[in-house]
Structure 1
Amino acid sequence: MTSSAEGIGARVTRREDKRFVTGKGRYTDDMTVPGMAHAAFVRSPHAHAKVTSLDASAARAMPGVEAVLTSEELVADGVGNLICGWMIHSKDGSPMKMGAWRALEGDTVRHVGQAVAVVVADTPARARDAADAVVVEYEPLDAVVDALDALKPGAPQLHPEAEGNLIYDWEIGDQATTDAAFASAAHVTRMEIRNNRLVPNAMEPRAALASYDEAEEHYTLWTTSQNPHVARLVLSAFYNIAPEHKLRVIAPDVGGGFGSKIFIYPEEMVCLWASKRTGLPVKWAADRTEAFLTDAHGRDHHSEAELALDADNRITGFRVKTVANLGAYMSLFSSSVPTYLYATLLSGQYAIPAIHANVKAVYTNTTPVDAYRGAGRPEATYLVERVMETAAREVGMDPAEFRRKNFVRSFPHQTPVIMCYDAGDYDASLDAALKAIDYAGFAARKAEAASRGKLRGIGFSCYIEACGIAPSQAVGSLGAGVGLWESAEVRVNPVGTIEVLTGSHSHGQGHETTFAQLVSDRFGVGLDTVSIVHGDTDKVQFGMGTYGSRSGAVGMSAIVKALDKVEAKAKKLAAHLMEAAEGDITLEGGTFKVAGTDKELPFFQVALAAYTAHNMPEGMEPGLKEGAFYDPTNFTFPAGTYICEVEVDPDTGKTEIVDFVAADDFGTIINPMIVEGQVHGGLTQGIGQALLENAAYDEDGQLLSGSYMDYCMPRADDVPSYRLMTTMTACPGNPLGMKGCGEAGAIGSPPAVINAITDAIGSNDLVMPATPAAVWQAIRQGRTAEAAE
């Protein structure tokens, strides 16, 4: 593989940013088609209620209204219920209990914002006005919003399929071995840990434009999707919207996803169905209130954790019980998040010989919960790293050295919870972070802060995550409803320009740049000669999309396989043209050369020869186009050490992050600048969770934090100037040695922040978000406890 100034490792400015920063992006809500109508949904104001009647007569008579459609018509037309695509079995072998979820509900609503009808009108304003005119009568029912309360006897029941609101009671690990470790432990650390609920809040709200062509019996859907092919598959195979070959799904520019745009939501289904029903193209674009109420939320775990140590402070066992709130319905991948994406990472970076975890997933009258940046890995890391920090304090050991003492050091390493870590050097990341933060000088900085009346603290987080979510055979055996490979096609055109068609999808990650860098590095051609095509099921072969930090390790590996085939064919043709042995052909700087001679042909001439086909080796087909599918042999395991240093004002509880160091091992890095941007974004989201964000409900199921007036997003003055560095161990499981970087910051930062604050205030009784009020109260409670002692 030859390198170039624009190839692997180059800090190339993102090519796609020209259209984004100049306002030339093309998002779903920018799309228009002739005769387009607009949809507005009638949504429940109740968290739990029977729908007793619905009168749309006044709405149907309003100007510009084309139709008001309800659950009755939806069911009559045979539109299927929404599903969860990952089967989980309880520890007794019984399958998870999936409650029925209609795209429009005509019987019982189970969360505020659930749609009961849709209005189609000629303008968005008229559609909204008519939606307000639909009269729906409800019989309110008792609601439950906390997962622990939902499991109590006598709690309101959401679905007849799930007795006691329990979806599944799942476990992983060896309980007997783990219990034995605790029986002989020299010290046990015990904690109750809450991982707060979050709202994704992508820059672009969800949107859909559906158009039905009656003459062709064909549907087209423009939508904000991270995986358009999977959307087409689910809409056709499970929801009975259209045959797969009669449905085109296009995901144009997408302004952020963070996991929340993986799933199929009721609105996309209804727009497609309504387009056929009305004979009009139908567009819907969410406002921010709808996004708060209906986008899949993230996190929301209650956990009890116990860590067993021997007399030498080595970990001997880890025991976890988690109750996961999945909201009112099971979203597409929700079942996998608190199980195989969470509990399998409970070993962290540590050589823990015995682990047992029990997870109970529960229905509540809240917005459904599914994958959100990190998807289970942040929840696992927060739990592990809060417990590690607490254990170190309890045994009087430096938290960095306590972690170091328990690191995994030999690879491959088989954990007790499925994962087999293939490569890593956790000491290297810890050492780099300690040096960058000047850990040795912290005591002096703490004393100086105290002289100003401030409390200074430092906190660690040594995270690990599993990315790529594969191989397909493995995830299939764990209940996944799809394979998790990726596809690519490389088309070399007659003049040597190159089109790469990828099943991955970019919604802010910079694929148009990094994927082109890979081709530039391989063939020695300029980035301006390479185009990346994605997001359209009529243009691109079936692919699985982007989530779980898989675009590099899986998506780019598929491109590498296709490039291998293109190069092999091109070299065979070049050898024929230059009358040389195929084994003597090299490709250097965009030129095919015969080793030991001055014979050479530029890349574009070989490409042209493949299409003119005047002089081809016997049996070779014309053209220069190859496709490939890549199924990984293992997950990838990015890891790193984050250290946060804070100052807390004891009089107000306000926390200032004065320094934040992130040392990550992402394996091979294609574009360091883009990776740094991904880490910055992840760190900011993680700090937002730690300090500011929280989706709060009242006891009746009303979302109290349903707008930016009540849900605090991180702003520039909430975050520090991060200091980033990387160490590197190549991943042996893919041809590029890549591990994934998109979720790391959000995974590793929350525990580092909370560990730093609890270190500063001398109290461990603090939950996220650590708002000034929460920190102030924790300080007061800590002082009261000290006085009582």
Structure 2
Amino acid sequence: MTTRMFGERVARVEDDRFLRGAGRYVDDLGADALHAAVLRSPHAHARIVDIDVSGVLDVDGVHAVFTYDDLQGPMAEPLPLLIPHPALTHGRTQYALAKDEVNHVGEAIAFVVADDRYVAEDAVDKIVVTYEFLPPVVGLAAARAAERLVHDDVPGNVAARLEQHVGDAPAAIAAAPHRLSLDLDIERSASTPMEGRGTLARWDTDSGRMQVWTSTQTSTGVRAAIAAKLGLDLGHVDVITPDVGGGFGVKIVHPWPEELLVPLAARALGQPVKFIEDRREHFISSAHERAQVQHVEVGFDDDGRLLGLDVAFWHDNGAYTPYGLIVPIITSTQLLGPYKPHNYRVTFESLYTNTVIVTPYRGAGRPQGVYAMERTMDAIAAYLGKDRADVRAVNFIQPDEFPFDHHMTFQDGRPLVYDSGDYPQLLDKLKALIGWDDFETVRAEAAAQGRRLGLGLACYVEGTGVGPYEGAHIHVETSGKVKVATGLTTQGQGHQTAFAQIVADELGVPFESVEVVTGDTRRMPYAVGTFASRAAVMSGSAIHLAARKVKEKALRIAADALEASVDDLEIVDGSVRVKGAPDSSIALGTIAVLSNPLRYAFDEASGAATQFSVGDPGKPPVAEGEEPGLEGKDFYSPERSTFAAGMHAVIVEIDPDTAEIEILRYAVVHDCGNLINPMIVQGQIHGGVAQGVGGALYERMEYDENGQLLNASFMDFLMPYVTEVPDGIEIDHLETPSPLNPLGLKGAGEAGVIPSAAVFASAIEDAERLDPGNLAVTAMPISPSQLFDLREHHRRGHPVVEEARQRRLETSAQHRKDPS
């Protein structure tokens, strides 16, 4: 039998060309293209009084300059609101080029096309804009105060307010034996992939056809937007996604202004046009995420069991809301994690600020929700003097309670029902992996050496495989090669490998015979996109179903050629054969020939197909109701999202004097259902943890009161290097298959980053508890300098802490003088 591929650690087929520098990204294409540059607002909030482009028109090498006044029809309308919601009563989106007003630094005002980027940039500098300055609204405190408005017609800067509740949380909290309240803060960060956004467009005047290559996570969405905005037939627009150097969410938004302006210019000029975003542009004109202020009220019993949970939070959505309320809705529902408070109320306001828009970034609202819940669990444990793991365990949904209905509405508009899982077993695995029960001994040994160690824990549940659908097309060529196409895009997830494993398993062909194409609307014109940990669940399931159709058709054709029953046939190593009689077989490539509407005969002796008739009047060219060709297409649409889960633990060492934070160990236990390729999942977790380390300890978007981003470069944006990311991340898996899709899959792409803020806050607070007074970590990310300041603030409020600190400093100084 063919070696089973599903679940095997197959090396990624993509890696060879990437390692050899043979990847093909947008900027590697279009050597003959003109180049575009964008004039971006230097102000956070201002009215545009006048735009003078006269200084640009005579610049040698400039081909065109566009402002809002040059846009017509649908192009002159605001960009689409991609995901409307009834609660989003004041949704606002930007124009492709600013009309009358700019609402954040970096907003596009004018678009220049020239022979090369250098000329285009010089021309941009010659455009003169007259502004009437308006006071900016920067940060959630200013947005909530509403002394100034981002949009004149949006009262209180409130884009939306949404409440969901189950039971009566306020009453349950009031009646609880114990009550706590927490105020928490989590700051902005951003995706910052290695490759910024990029778009190349070619217009064929003769055919009236537009071809666009763009670095996107949703090629079909970009295609639809270009067709609608430029007034083109959908069938006359091709969008191809080449290799993409990372997405992490920022490339979901469709369309970006440049994805419309580049094809608009290409059509107007009759020449290919290309735009490649530079790093500063990415910081000030793409998308950010994360920023929330949270208030938690919780009631619990003597065991730490949740009796009531009441959460309010305020979400900074930036200047516009193209992606609706997806991020805060995910926060509000995924906050529940693996727990069952029964009485739960959550209320959020999504607020406008004069800053870059906020759209999903890897984790997409979940890190904020996990942060709120896990900080609450730690606070309950500290209050009761209980083990943090025990407090979590007493609140877990139990394995026999699945499917578990939270009686809320999830991001996909469907019920928040967890399909499967085993949270107690996840915790047991994590405790064993990190050495939870022995940590106090490790801590004491370190303390004897003057070292300060802390252990953190965080649990999460992640809704994955969100709909509405994905599709797949599979075609077996006469050579026996199997061509697979699915519409979602690839940004490094290993789709070419994992999807080929699914096909090889279902179709019974060698793995090497399968070739996978993603993100090309010429091959698969209908798709949704790659985000929300959905690719394996959605496209994987669609590919599995399409492969099954091809298999069934191959068996039908082979049964006729071999004069055997379909039930007696099997496909092994790319050939259909009679069970128990391997010599009686026919290759899939030959079956592909036989599926042609031309009349063929099968020669059993040679195993070949020979044409004998172009049209046999006595027999239809193909079976009734069957299409020609050995191919199959299918779509998968889920009943609802499936829910993965996991738990992370980290041991940190913190310098008693400088507050420098070092990661000693990092452990992950994850349940994403059945694993297609454990090695790829492990890579996803490693990458997510690295990104989470950055988000928890280093990265933030630092705005001043004027709305200027002060660290909009990699010189100023602090990020972890390989020296800061744990080297040997310890990983274990639990596989509880999802009953909602044919492969039992759950998503894995975002898991590594989701609990990072929570787990580091837990570990840092645990390390700092050597000081009396219970220093609390309530704001993330936290850098050594911020932890140092937090310590100082804490000590000033607790004199006994300061006395203990002085004793330690004296002891440390004496030790340095006399190490013996």
Corresponding residue to 2:208 among 200, 203, 217: 217
What secondary structure, in the 3-state scheme, does the structure 2 residue paired with 1:415 have? strand
Match of 1:480 in 2: none
Give the distance between the partners of 1:633 and 1:613, measured in 2 at CA: 43
Match of 2:701 in 1: 695
**Letter of the 2:776 counterpart:** N
How far residue 455 of structure 1 moved from its aligned partner, in angstroms, is 1.7
**Letter of the 1:4 counterpart:** T
Match of 1:335 in 2: 325
| CA gap 1:442/1:99 in 2 versus in 1, 3 angstroms | same
Check if 1:97 corresponds to 2:90.
Answer: yes
Does structure 2 retain, via aligned residues, the 8 Å contact 1:495–1:608?
no
What secondary structure, in the 3-state scheme, does the structure 2 residue paired with 1:670 have? coil
Match of 1:487 in 2: 471
Check if 1:43 corresponds to 2:40.
Answer: yes
Give the distance between the partners of 1:749 and 1:77, measured in 2 at CA: 42
What secondary structure, in the 3-state scheme, does the structure 2 residue paired with 1:303 have? strand
| CA gap 1:84/1:735 in 2 versus in 1, 3 angstroms | same
What secondary structure, in the 3-state scheme, does the structure 1 residue paired with 2:798 have? helix
Greater shift, 532-541 or 664-673, is seen at 532-541
**Letter of the 2:6 counterpart:** I
Give the distance between the partners of 1:748 and 1:601, measured in 2 at CA: 53
| CA gap 1:139/1:310 in 2 versus in 1, 3 angstroms | same
With normalisation by structure 1, the TM-score equals 0.94
Give the distance between the partners of 1:279 and 1:568, measured in 2 at CA: 48
Give the distance between the partners of 2:338 and 2:190, measured in 1 at CA: 29
Check if 1:614 corresponds to 2:600.
Answer: yes
Match of 1:389 in 2: 378
Give the distance between the partners of 1:755 and 1:311, measured in 2 at CA: 21
Give the distance between the partners of 1:703 and 1:153, measured in 2 at CA: 21
Match of 1:750 in 2: 757
| CA gap 1:134/1:404 in 2 versus in 1, 3 angstroms | same
Greater shift, 739-748 or 213-222, is seen at 213-222
How far residue 571 of structure 1 moved from its aligned partner, in angstroms, is 1.5
What secondary structure, in the 3-state scheme, does the structure 2 residue paired with 1:637 have? strand
Match of 1:364 in 2: 353
How far residue 539 of structure 1 moved from its aligned partner, in angstroms, is 2.3
Match of 2:652 in 1: 646
How far residue 730 of structure 1 moved from its aligned partner, in angstroms, is 0.5
Give the distance between the partners of 2:227 and 2:140, measured in 1 at CA: 33
Give the distance between the partners of 2:780 and 2:63, measured in 1 at CA: 47
Does structure 2 retain, via aligned residues, the 8 Å contact 1:318–1:356?
yes
**Letter of the 2:637 counterpart:** D
Corresponding residue to 1:781 among 793, 796, 799: 793
Give the distance between the partners of 1:358 and 1:84, measured in 2 at CA: 23
Match of 2:497 in 1: 513
With normalisation by structure 2, the TM-score equals 0.90
Match of 1:559 in 2: 543
Check if 1:173 corresponds to 2:165.
Answer: yes
Give the distance between the partners of 1:444 and 1:780, measured in 2 at CA: 28
**Letter of the 2:380 counterpart:** A
How far residue 33 of structure 1 moved from its aligned partner, in angstroms, is 5.5
Give the distance between the partners of 1:632 and 1:452, measured in 2 at CA: 55
Corresponding residue to 1:158 among 145, 150, 153: 150
Does structure 2 retain, via aligned residues, the 8 Å contact 1:98–1:161?
no
How far residue 639 of structure 1 moved from its aligned partner, in angstroms, is 0.5
Check if 1:350 corresponds to 2:339.
Answer: yes
How far residue 96 of structure 1 moved from its aligned partner, in angstroms, is 2.1
How far residue 76 of structure 1 moved from its aligned partner, in angstroms, is 6.7
Does structure 1 retain, via aligned residues, the 8 Å contact 2:578–2:585?
no
Does structure 2 retain, via aligned residues, the 8 Å contact 1:224–1:254?
yes
What secondary structure, in the 3-state scheme, does the structure 1 residue paired with 2:264 have? helix
**Letter of the 1:256 counterpart:** G
Match of 1:251 in 2: 241
How far residue 298 of structure 1 moved from its aligned partner, in angstroms, is 1.2
How far residue 327 of structure 1 moved from its aligned partner, in angstroms, is 0.5
Give the distance between the partners of 1:8 and 1:219, measured in 2 at CA: 39
**Letter of the 2:558 counterpart:** A
Q: Mapping of 1:219-618 within 5 angstroms?
A: 219-237=210-228, 239-240=229-230, 242-263=232-253, 264-331=255-322, 333-339=323-329, 341-409=330-398, 410-418=401-409, 419-470=416-467, 484-595=468-579, 597=581, 600-604=584-588, 605-611=590-596, 613-615=599-601
Greater shift, 388-397 or 585-594, is seen at 585-594
Does structure 2 retain, via aligned residues, the 8 Å contact 1:229–1:544?
yes
Greater shift, 584-593 or 613-622, is seen at 613-622
Give the distance between the partners of 2:93 and 2:496, measured in 1 at CA: 40
Match of 2:682 in 1: 676
Corresponding residue to 1:88 among 69, 82, 85: 85
What secondary structure, in the 3-state scheme, does the structure 1 residue paired with 2:746 have? coil
Taking only aligned residues, the RMSD between alpha carbons, in angstroms, comes to 1.9
Give the distance between the partners of 2:741 and 2:15, measured in 1 at CA: 29
How far residue 613 of structure 1 moved from its aligned partner, in angstroms, is 4.8
Give structure 2 stretches of 5+ with no counterpart.
Answer: 410-415, 602-620, 770-774, 802-820
How far residue 736 of structure 1 moved from its aligned partner, in angstroms, is 0.7
Match of 1:637 in 2: 643
How far residue 310 of structure 1 moved from its aligned partner, in angstroms, is 2.4
Greater shift, 773-782 or 407-416, is seen at 773-782
What is the total number of aligned residue pairs between the two structures? 764
How far residue 774 of structure 1 moved from its aligned partner, in angstroms, is 1.0
CA deviations over 1:505-539 (Å, ceiling 9, x no partner): 11110111111111122233222211111222122
Give the distance between the partners of 1:548 and 1:669, measured in 2 at CA: 17
**Letter of the 1:26 counterpart:** R
Match of 1:4 in 2: 3
CA deviations over 1:626-649 (Å, ceiling 9, x no partner): 100110122111101111111100
Does structure 1 retain, via aligned residues, the 8 Å contact 2:218–2:489?
yes
**Letter of the 2:341 counterpart:** I
Does structure 2 retain, via aligned residues, the 8 Å contact 1:496–1:608?
no
How far residue 445 of structure 1 moved from its aligned partner, in angstroms, is 1.4
Does structure 1 retain, via aligned residues, the 8 Å contact 2:496–2:515?
yes
What secondary structure, in the 3-state scheme, does the structure 2 residue paired with 1:646 have? strand
CA deviations over 1:546-597 (Å, ceiling 9, x no partner): 1111111111100111111111111122222222222222334444343455
How far residue 732 of structure 1 moved from its aligned partner, in angstroms, is 0.7
Check if 1:733 corresponds to 2:746.
Answer: no
**Letter of the 1:774 counterpart:** Q
Match of 1:24 in 2: 22
How far residue 779 of structure 1 moved from its aligned partner, in angstroms, is 2.2
How far residue 781 of structure 1 moved from its aligned partner, in angstroms, is 2.7
Does structure 2 retain, via aligned residues, the 8 Å contact 1:146–1:364?
yes
CA deviations over 1:404-442 (Å, ceiling 9, x no partner): 111001211111423111110111111111111111221
Give structure 1 stretches of 5+ with no counterpart.
Answer: 471-483
Match of 1:481 in 2: none
Give the distance between the partners of 1:170 and 1:532, measured in 2 at CA: 42
How far residue 617 of structure 1 moved from its aligned partner, in angstroms, is 8.4
Aligned residues with identical type, % of pairs: 37
Give the distance between the partners of 1:206 and 1:778, measured in 2 at CA: 38
Give the distance between the partners of 2:75 and 2:284, measured in 1 at CA: 27
Match of 2:808 in 1: none
Give the distance between the partners of 1:609 and 1:632, measured in 2 at CA: 35
Does structure 2 retain, via aligned residues, the 8 Å contact 1:758–1:766?
no
Does structure 2 retain, via aligned residues, the 8 Å contact 1:355–1:417?
no
Does structure 2 retain, via aligned residues, the 8 Å contact 1:766–1:778?
no
| CA gap 1:526/1:129 in 2 versus in 1, 3 angstroms | same
Give the distance between the partners of 1:371 and 1:197, measured in 2 at CA: 12
Give the distance between the partners of 1:515 and 1:76, measured in 2 at CA: 41
Does structure 1 retain, via aligned residues, the 8 Å contact 2:303–2:394?
no
**Letter of the 1:32 counterpart:** G
| CA gap 1:517/1:364 in 2 versus in 1, 3 angstroms | same
